[in-house]
Amino acid sequence: MDKILQFLNYNKFPLVTKLTDINSASVHSSPIKLQVYVFAKADDLKSLLEPLEDIARNFKGKIMFTAVDIADEDLAKPFLTLFGLEESKNTVVTAFDNKAISKFLLESDLTPSNIEEFCSRLLHGTLTPYLKSQPIPDNTNANVQIVVGKTFDDLVLNSHKDVLLEVYTPWCVTCETTSKQIEKLAKHFKGLDNLVIAKIDASANEHPKLQVEEYPTLLFYPAGDKANPIKVSARSSSKNIAAFIKEQLKEKDQSPKDEQWKEKDQAPKDEL
């Protein structure tokens, strides 16, 4: 009986399930942990259904295939937001490993052969998880360096400099105040070769080494120990954060010349 029930549970859905408000709960609770979602316009889904069914037949009981009308914001947008593609109008093929809590995006041409290879690699665990990233910005004249998912390694983890990083989100109520403090600090410490002050939008960028649960979060990455960033209270005043940075620099004998410190310490009171 157990084996029969398990078989039914794994095979109760059609080859390709059209996601609706009615079946969404049962789709999300499917025991099949590997799931492929195809987001497309309703007319495009009709033409995609047959080739998708042919592909799904080869993975029946192992991968669940779900089709979603990309124009249905209530059903499509929560998924697409996970990939930073919430504004997309074109066909998107994604996958989830709900056991490993990983997500994947098909970034090659949406041909049946590419989709089938994508599914095969999902099944065998050889896909690289997808992490959101904004386009790489131009930081040439920026006091506060903008970090994105694609540059987190180079600008933070692999940098030979100390890095103070603000992690924020656009919807965070107190993030704007902290961002203003960071701007003041960046101006105050401008010109120090061994210090980088930066920020990253956690809503649009991801990195496996950046796990933050509250916003804003301030992290100080020491030059010699990037694996153990120091959390700095975002409620601290600019002066207290500046004092913390100076102490960190002095401890590693990275402090600038005395006259430069003197000049900085004599900054107007309202600067920090």
* Percent above pLDDT 90 for the chain: 83
Q: How confident is the model at residue 261 (pLDDT cuts 50, 70, 90)?
A: very low
Q: What is the mean pLDDT of residues 197-201?
A: 97
pLDDT of res. 190? 92
- Report how far apart, in Å, the C-alpha atoms of 225 and of each of 151, 163, 219, 230, 253 are: 18, 11, 12, 10, 15
pLDDT of res. 224? 87
pLDDT of res. 252? 66
Q: What is the mean pLDDT of residues 230-255?
A: 86
List the single range of 78-82, 183-187, 189-193, 255-259 with lowest mean pLDDT: 255-259
pLDDT of res. 253? 59
Distance CA 122, CA 63 (A): 9
Q: How confident is the model at residue 168 (pLDDT cuts 50, 70, 90)?
A: very high
Q: What is the mean pLDDT of residues 105-128?
A: 96
Distance CA 65, CA 218 (A): 41
* Residues 59, 106 contacting (CB under 8 angstroms): no
Distance CA 40, CA 71 (A): 8
Q: Which domains does the chain have, with CATH numbers?
A: 7-124 (3.40.30.10), 145-252 (3.40.30.10)
The answer on pLDDT for 129 being more than 60 is yes
Half-sphere exposure of 134 (CA within 13 A, CB side): 12
Angle among Cα 253, 272, 241 to the nearest 5 degrees reads 45
Distance CA 87, CA 259 (A): 52
Residues 6+ apart with CB under 8 A from 28: none
Amino acid type, 36: V
Tens-place pLDDT, residues 44-69: 999 999 999 999 999 999 999 999 99
Average pLDDT value over all residues in the chain: 91
170, burial (CB in 10 Å: exposed 0-12, middle 13-18, buried 19+): exposed
Backbone angles phi, psi at 9, to 5 degrees: -65, -35
Which H or E run contains 111? none
Q: What is the mean pLDDT of residues 176-182?
A: 95
Distance CA 37, CA 56 (A): 12
Q: Measuring CA to CA, which residue among 151, 185, 150 is closest to residue 166?
A: 185
Q: How confident is the model at residue 222 (pLDDT cuts 50, 70, 90)?
A: very high
Q: How confident is the model at residue 10 (pLDDT cuts 50, 70, 90)?
A: confident
Q: How confident is the model at residue 25 (pLDDT cuts 50, 70, 90)?
A: very high
